Chains A and B, each alone.
Chain A
């Protein structure tokens, strides 16, 4: 599917979400409450069948944390970017998608480790790189007097 067709298809399919054409890929903005449902639908609708999650990232915005999912369909070869904002910046929570795309299991652990986003229903949410005693270093307001030499 080309981006225009995908845009039309997604707009028809997801009434609750906000779909817009991005610079490179089609973007779909989802409410945190609908995230899991939307993911299942994106994967299981035959015309879409986004079965390959190739990037999961967390972004620290002033008011909220944003989680960005890059999805590709290995069958149709189209790509969509799904974004979700969390309600709270300091104690962010979203549903996990690791039961939809297994690879999200580790990506979510990484986001939890570095940004402190908690994923509900995640089976094994532990820190990935750092010890349990650390703060969340990729947050913009992270301060570490001992370990960071600033320049």
Chain B
């Protein structure tokens, strides 16, 4: 008995300090270049000071000297995983300012391309998230299926990622004759793949342990810090622009905004993508 007591006293005497660790800017888990100064005590993170700007390229300054269609080529490279959405944002802005009405067909094409872009972006996110947790298989699975979408893009406009497809007033070319068929085929295929994804990662004990109850963000914080997208919606912040300020063909599409109050927005979000994409395919003329 006395021995155990001694041990407890001796552990109390171990002196622990907080220490600073520099993560990045070149760090495999930052996916991009982000430098974090992390103050740690053991495994507990006390404070993080982020340093950004390692890929700041002054696009705003460049746009001052460019015409609107030329800007499209730069917005592609802002967020290269959702290049089409960035382009569309510029296009909608210019069209709004010029009071130009685009044809219905263009709206549909843009919306479908939007969703395809979103889907490939989520696929990459999913596979890379698995990879960071040590599940390298997800990396191969996710990128394998992502290539199918990239093929569709390539057939439509010639580029794999930086599409340059949307222009103020319309889109660059009409869709390829194969487009409709390939999108439908892809949806059919991808629906089969989703359970496979779930089996691989979602139910995994290690994954569950490392994501459940980690990094909690309250609704108030999400709103105060302006956390939107799936992260915001996982905290219960209804912030889907497609619902609240619908653009292109979104008013005509029947989909639901999924909200959650905790954690891992992941599977639900993907299911929603699937549903709305399914609907698009049937809508397409």
CA distance A130 to B53 in the complex (A): 7
Q: Are A129 and B226 in contact (CB under 8 A)?
A: no
CA distance A54 to B244 in the complex (A): 14
A77, closest chain B residue (CB):
B244
B55, closest chain A residue (CB):
A129
Q: Is A53 close to B, CB under 8 A?
A: yes
Secondary structure at chain A's binding surface: helix, strand, loop or mixed?
loop
Q: Are B238 and A53 in contact (CB under 8 A)?
A: no
Q: Are B224 and A103 in contact (CB under 8 A)?
A: yes
Minimum CB–CB distance for A148 against chain B, Å: 8
The digit string for B64-97, where 1 denotes a CB below 8 A from any CB of A, is 0100000000000000000000000000000010
Minimum CB–CB distance for B268 against chain A, Å: 20
Query: Which residue from A54, A74, A130 sits with its C-beta under 8 Å from B238?
Result: A74
A107, closest chain B residue (CB):
B226
Query: Which residue from B56, B223, B244 sits with its C-beta under 8 Å from A51?
Result: B223
Q: Is B172 close to A, CB under 8 A?
A: no
Chain B residues with CB under 8 Å of A54's CB are 226, 228
Interface residues of B (CB under 8 A from A): 52-53, 56, 58, 60-61, 65, 96, 221, 223-226, 228, 237-239, 244
The contact sample of 10 A-B pairs, CB cut-off 8 A, is A52-B223, A54-B226, A77-B244, A103-B224, A128-B52, A129-B52, A129-B56, A130-B56, A138-B61, A151-B65
Interface residues of A (CB under 8 A from B): 24, 51-54, 74, 77, 101-103, 114, 128-130, 137-138, 142, 150-151
